[in-house]
Structure 1
Amino acid sequence: MARQNNEKGLEELRAARRESRPYYWFVAIFSFFVNMLMLTGPLYMLQVYDRVLGSRSVATLIALSVLVVFLYGMMGLLDYVRGRVMGRVAARFQNRLDTRVFDAVVRRSAVQPDQLAATGLKDLESVQRLMASPVLMAIFDIPWTPVFLIGISIFHPWLGILAMSGGAILIVITIVNQWVTRNPTQKSNVATFQAEQISDQLRQESEMVQALGMRRAAFLRWHEARAKSLSGQIGSADLAGSFTTLTRTLRLLLQSAMLGLGAYLVLQGELTPGAMIAGSILMGRALAPIELAIGQWTLVERARKGWTNLSQLLSEVRPEEPRTALPRPRAKLDVQQLTVVPPGEQQAALRIVSFNLEPGQALGVIGPSGAGKSTLARALTGVWRPAGGKIRLDGATLEQYGPDVIGEHIGYLPQRVSLFDGTIAENISRLSQAPDDQKIVEAAKKADAHEMILKLPEGYNTRVSGAGGRLSGGQMQRIGLARAMYGDPVILVLDEPNSNLDNEGSMAVNKAIRRMKEEGKAVLIMAHRPAAIAECDMLLMLENGSRSAFGPKDEVLQSRVKNHDQIRKTAALPGGVR
């Protein structure tokens, strides 16, 4: 089954590659002429040594030289053109898959942020770099190696035997190189990835590292991972370098051996001096593609690993199926027997939870830490798929809406708000390429953040970084609320909306909730603080991932107080709780 699924990803990659098949044939035809023109040098040397020097004809030498200049010029032009074509084929391949891979990376990162998700875009780039590199040109040139070896054999069988033996040795070295360097290269790549992950995390949390005096401990942790990565890189580079050096040395030795054997045959009268020089040049040309492939094997290995990773990623994250566009839903939410298992885990974080929410209502979701409140928020926004049960928005399941459409109808304020590099306006508009200024200001006003934004140095055009820059946690949370309300969603999901807010900010959030209710929309608030549920009409209490109470707020709170009083009274009896 896993192999069949992996084939789906491979087929996507092959389909993208097949789109440029005419260009591959174009490059192959150009490679034919380039390699034919590679015979210019040997033939020129053959004619100079065997004809020009013998006849002492200056006119013949000039004519041959002019012809050689023309042929080399054509060869250079054709070689340049095929390189440009392959560069564009590589760019076309990447452009064809950019959207698909980016979508797969984002979707996988939301549920399972592993190495496949972290390196997906780099894997695509590694394949593109190989396609645009001279190594791929060598693949088109390698089929001509036997032709050149046969040409050497025509001069003399002993020269052909020497050339073929040398070619066979280089092919064996190439196979051994692939076998020996594969595991060290993979281990080095894994260690490098881990070191990069640590450095990215430390950079993102640099404020905490500085404030808690963790710089030395953080450096030692990163340095340990970096040292392991560096050691792996050095070991991998040493192996690759040894094979590259061995190949280059052997090729030079073979060329010298070809000259030596050719000289011996000349002395024996079995070969002409021109054929001796031409054979040496042909030998170098025949072995050049193999030497290039071995010298750039690290690039080949990285692209091979990238191709494997991409096929697995695209197989496991299938493209979204087109959906029939549905009309704008009402703020009517029905959750039926919902069970959610967090990605990568075996145990459900939510089990058989049911409730409903009507337009104009606000529902508070309360419970201790780890009760499943954030899990419910992720399920309601479509980030995590239910393992069982259904979530219906105005009668339609969430699966019937596209991911971007769900974001338009259900606004989301996560527990930890993060902004993107850009202006505040760009963040509120969700990085839209064609933002609506009126909707941006309207969303900020609904979140009661308009006045706060205007007080910033450049207002809505104030630039912020991913960590928020000069903004406080409360300001970031209010901007995040404005982003959640951008586009006029019918339902708002707020996960701990006042965790970083002062009293003024909490009042602003409550005001936004009241406005949503007045407009006939619905709000869900995952909360710990009583102030966060002040505007709630209904309460859902979660304990250990299950629903322990649901109903009007006052009834649920009174029931909770009675239960606590009963537990206290029971505990006060002799012998404790019975």
Structure 2
Amino acid sequence: MGLGSLKWVAVFSVATNLLMIVPPLHMLQVYDRVLSSNSLETLIYITLIAVAAMVLYGAAEAVRGILVQRAAARYTVEKADPLFEGLSKSNGGMRQSSGLLRDFNMVRSFIASRTLVGLFDLPFAPFFVLLMFMLHWSLGIITLVGIMALVGIAIMQKVITAKAADTAKETDSEALSFAQTVFSRSEDIRAMGLLPSVMQRWGSRMGASLASGDEAAGQASAFYGTSKALRKILQIAIMAWGAYLVIDGQISGGVIFAASMLSGRALAPFEQVIGGWDRISQARGSHGKLEAFLAEQANRPETMRLPEPTGHIAVESLTFNPNEEKGGKPILENVSFEVPAGKVLAVIGPSGAGKSTIAKAIVGAIQQNTGQVRLDGAERSQWPEDQWGETVGYVSQEVTLFPGSLAENIARLEIEPNEEKVVRAAMAAGMHDMAVALPDGYGTMIGPGAVMLSGGQKQRVALARALYSDPRVLILDEPNAHLDANGETSLIAAIERAKGQGRTVVIVTQRRSVLTVADYVMTVKDGRIDSYVTANFSKSQQQAKPQQAAAQAEPQAAQNTPVAAAKSERLDSEALKKRRRVAGAPGISTPAAAEPVVAPAPVQRDLGERL
């Protein structure tokens, strides 16, 4: 946390607090020496000394402010990269990321605040109390009682306001997360006329946030007002008691004013802490969450770079259930299959079956509850992140492009994109003509406030991005969902080229047009593998496939038709009984609900006859 800077803050805090003795001493000398001796010279000299001391005090305070700013900057440098890297690897989702980034900003701003500086003044309060006892023991007692009262108020504030502060932070986080989700789909909201409903829901969340925030702020303000009033009462009490002591002849008149100033300095740090308690509490909680998250990320074992893989994928007993603690049904349950290196696996099935979840599990976009994903025998966690990213190309179902140029997006946001690799990847994805047709070609800026690409164009860019690093494995999740006939033809050609280059391809699709390039077809239903078969198309069927693709341009409707269902479910009963393994195909069975999926032989079907 920039401990070097904070050590110097402590050093300068010593200087500032020692210099704060000067005003009371000046007042004491004026009343007890200057006024009694009528010495103008003494007045001038002690005043000049006091002014010089206050100049040094101001300089020390300025240095303290600069030092806490530097401590905040150092904290940012130390924590920003590990935090960003940890969030990119975490599966906590947008809410966790947004919350931890807010926690990070909270801690950073607290380190640079005057509230932190006030905490460095707290240890000097006993020093000023001791000076009060030196002036007169009774004045010291009054100051000590006042400090104890302020400490009691601080403890009460911590206990009473904790629940309200936590609720306020939680509701505020929910409102911000809802707003971020809404803004990310603003086009859909405008198109479907959802703005009134969205505004009402946003208003209810903001209302809850304001109500809880108002409750927390009201409690904090009440305690702060009480502490301010108590401090003023104590100063009045010290002045009144000091006057009595002067009348009684126990102290001089200058002691009254010196005692008032010293008691104020002793009480000020406590009042400042009470006023900033809400901020201190939030910063402390945020710091604890950040450190716990970073410690968890740091405990991950270091991985070494592995040999270049051939592309053999093995999924073993994969189960994914994000609502397991609530007793929810798993999205994937005991899924096991293999894809030999250089082969193409097409994953089909009805909507909500778990197809996209399988793709996300393979690339590591989600963390499964149980099971393993292996590439060339090495489990996913054993591969270094950078090598895994180079080896596995991924096109997600919802394509996200980043603010920047087209070339930068294809080059995976590299600072200096390799132009030759960018063009090669674009040509492999069949989007080179699209790129050069844009206003500035590959240098065209895309995103909000720049050129907006269509859904099909985004999918082509995503495919080029997946191909940029020349990966051995391609995971394509609905890559043809927004493509027209020409785009789909380019996609099929790209898959055929990847297959010809020995790359392993897993493609999740609702359209049957891409099945002509598949070696195996896996049907997923209700989170389990319904079948795993070899694809055996004749040459004439492959040539006729463009006409089939046009006829099947509505995948969502087609998959729910009786004909499609019959095609998906038509099995050879004799083959089911014998469970014969197809030569060269990875084995998968469809077990009973109570049995885990292992790897017996698949059912042999000729998809050419079926389609």
TM-score exceeds 0.5: yes
1:561 Cα deviation from its structure 2 partner: 4.3
Q: Measure how far apart 1:294 and its partner are.
A: 1.3
Question: Residue 52 of structure 2 is aligned with which of 70, 76, 84?
Answer: 70
Determine which of 394, 402, 407 is the counterpart of 1:412. Answer: 394
Match of 2:570 among 555, 564, 573: 564
What is the rounded CA distance, in whole Å, between the counterparts of 2:449 and 2:229 in structure 1? 53
CA deviation profile, 1:268-319 (whole Å, cap 9, x unmatched)? 2221111111000111111111111111122112102212322443355455
Distance change in 2, residues 1:79/1:260 (3 Å): same
Quick check: 1:340–1:375 contact (8 Å CA) kept in 2? Answer: no
SS at match of 1:245: helix
Show the 5 A alignment for 1:240-255: 240-255=220-235
Aligned: 1:373 with 2:355: yes
How far apart in 1 are the matches of 2:184 and 2:371? Answer: 37
Q: Within 1, Cα distance between the matches of 2:135 and 2:567?
A: 102
Cα shift at 1:226: 0.7
The equivalent of 1:571 in structure 2 is: none
Cα shift readout 1:425-465 (whole Å, capped 9, x = no counterpart): 22111112232122112111111111112212222222222
Aligned alpha-carbon RMSD (Å): 2.5
Question: Does the CA contact (< 8 Å) of 1:446 and 1:485 recur in 2?
Answer: yes
Aligned equivalent of 1:279: 259
Partner in structure 1 of residue 558 of structure 2: none
Partners of 1:123 and 1:310 within 8 A in 2? yes
Question: Are residues 1:35 and 2:17 paired?
Answer: yes
**Contact 1:382/1:406 (<8 A) preserved:** no
Q: What is the match of residue 107 of structure 1?
A: 89
Residue in structure 2 matched with residue 384 of structure 1 by the alignment: 366
Distance in 2 between residues matched to 1:349 and 1:57, nearest whole Å: 91
Superposition deviation, residue 385 in structure 1: 4.1
* Partner in structure 2 of residue 575 of structure 1: none
Relative distance call for 1:351 and 1:219 in structure 2 (3 A) is closer
Residue of structure 2 equivalent to 1:90: 72
1:173-231 deviation digits (Å, cap 9, x = unpaired) = 11111111111111111111111112112211111111111111111110111111111
Are positions 1:398 and 2:377 aligned together? no
Q: Which residue of 2 aligns with 1:323?
A: 303
Q: Which amino acid aligns with 1:545?
A: G
Q: Deviations over 1:158-182 (max 9, x none)?
A: 2122211111111111111111111
Distance 1:518 1:102, change over 3 A: same
Judge conservation of contact 2:27–2:254 (CA < 8 Å) in 1. yes
1:541 matched to 2:520? The reply is: no
Query: One-letter code of the match for 1:57?
Result: S
1:350-365 alignment runs, 5 A limit: 350-365=332-347
Partner secondary structure for residue 536 of structure 2: helix
Instruction: List per-residue Cα deviations over 1:377-420 (Å, max 9, x = no partner).
Output: 11211223454444332333322211222111010001111111
Out of 218, 222, 232, the position equivalent to 1:238 is 218
* Of 426-435 and 214-223, the range deviating more from structure 2: 426-435
Contact conserved, 2:322 with 2:330, CA < 8 A, in 1? no
- CA contact 2:318–2:336 (8 Å) conserved in 1: no
**Count of residues in correspondence between the two structures:** 546
CA contact (8 A) 1:112 1:344 kept: no
Query: Equivalent residue for 2:597?
Result: none
Shift of 1:520: 1.7
Equivalence map 1:431-470=2 (5 Å): 431-465=413-447, 470=452
Secondary structure of the residue that 2:251 maps to in structure 1?
coil
Find the counterpart in structure 2 of residue 337 from structure 1. 316
Q: CA deviation at 1:507?
A: 0.9
Identical pairs, percent = 35
Residue 548 of structure 1 aligns to a residue whose secondary structure is strand
Q: Deviations for 1:328-384, whole angstroms, at most 9, x for unmatched residues? A: 2223x2315331324443654334444333343221111222322112111211223
- Equivalent residue for 2:206, pick from 223, 226, 229: 226
SS in 1 for 2:158: helix
Q: Which moved more, 1:73-82 or 1:53-62?
A: 73-82
SS of corresponding position for 2:119:
helix
Instruction: Return closer, same or farther for 1:468/1:381 CA change in 2, 3 Å cut-off.
Output: farther
The amino acid across from 2:44 in the alignment is: I
Secondary structure of the structure 1 residue equivalent to 2:471: coil
Separation in structure 2 between the aligned mates of residue 215 and residue 336 of structure 1, nearest angstrom: 43
What's the counterpart of residue 196 of structure 1?
176
The answer on 1:169 being equivalent to 2:175 is: no
Distance 1:388 1:187, change over 3 A: closer
- After alignment, is 511-520 or 335-344 more displaced? 335-344
Partners in 1 of 2:22 and 2:142 — Cα distance?
22
Q: 2:159 aligns with which of 179, 202, 225?
A: 179
Instruction: Verify the 8 A CA contact 2:523 2:529 in the aligned structure 1.
Output: yes
Structure 2 residue aligned with 1:421: 403
Deviation at 1:115, TM superposition (A): 4.2
Secondary structure of residue in 1 paired with 2:505: strand
Change (3 A) 1:467 1:376: farther
CA contact (8 A) 2:315 2:337 kept: yes
Aligned to 1:212: 192
- Maintained 8 Å contact 1:338/1:350: no
**Alignment partner, residue 294 of structure 1:** 274
| SS of equivalent to 2:316 | strand
Moved more, 390-399 or 216-225: 390-399
Which residue number in structure 2 is paired with residue 124 of structure 1? 104
User: Is the 2:315–2:373 Cα contact (8 Å) retained in structure 1?
Assistant: yes
> Unaligned 5+ residue runs, structure 2?
542-563, 574-611
Does residue 61 in structure 1 map to residue 40 in structure 2?
A: no
User: Structure 1: where are the runs of 5+ without partners?
Assistant: 1-16, 568-578
Q: Measured at CA, do residues 343 and 466 of structure 1 come closer, stay the same or move farther in structure 2, by a change above 3 Å? A: farther
SS of the residue 2:218 aligns to = helix
Cα shift at 1:534: 2.7
Hey, what's the Cα distance between the residues in 2 that align with 1:301 and 1:143? 19
Residues 177-186 or 454-463, more deviating: 454-463
Report the counterpart of residue 62 of structure 2 in structure 1.
Answer: 80
Between the aligned partners of 2:23 and 2:16, the Cα distance in structure 1 is: 12
Moved more, 62-71 or 312-321: 312-321
Shift of 1:496: 0.8
Q: 1:267 aligned to 2:254?
A: no
- Contact 1:339–1:348 at 8 Å: present in 2 too? no
Q: For CA contacts below 8 A with separation 6 or more, give which structure has more relative contact order.
A: 1
Structure 1 residue aligned with 2:576 = none
Task: Give the C-alpha shift of residue 555 in structure 1.
Answer: 8.2
Q: For residues 27-86 of structure 1, what are the alpha-carbon distances to aligned partners after superposition, in whole Å with 9 as ceiling and x for unaligned?
A: 322222211111000000000111011111111111111111111112222222233222
CA 1:563/1:64 → structure 2, altered by over 3 Å: closer, same or farther?
Answer: closer
Structure 1 residues 352 and 173, CA, compared in 2 at 3 Å: closer, same or farther?
A: closer
Distance 1:469 1:212, change over 3 A: farther
- For 2:439, give the aligned amino acid: P
1:231 and 1:407 map into 2 onto residues whose CA distance is 46
Taking the aligned partners of 1:25 and 1:559, their CA distance within structure 2 comes to 72
Q: Distance in 2 between matches of 1:276 and 1:314?
A: 54
**Matched-pair contact (CA < 8 Å) for 1:325–1:401:** yes
- Distance of 2:256 and 2:434 partners within structure 1: 85
Q: Following the alignment from structure 1 to structure 2, what is the Cα–Cα distance between the partners of residues 87 and 562? A: 65
Q: Deviations over 1:93-140 (max 9, x none)?
A: 2321212222222223xx332744331122122122222212222222
Give SS of 2:482's match. Answer: coil
Report the CA distance between 1:479 and its aligned residue: 0.9
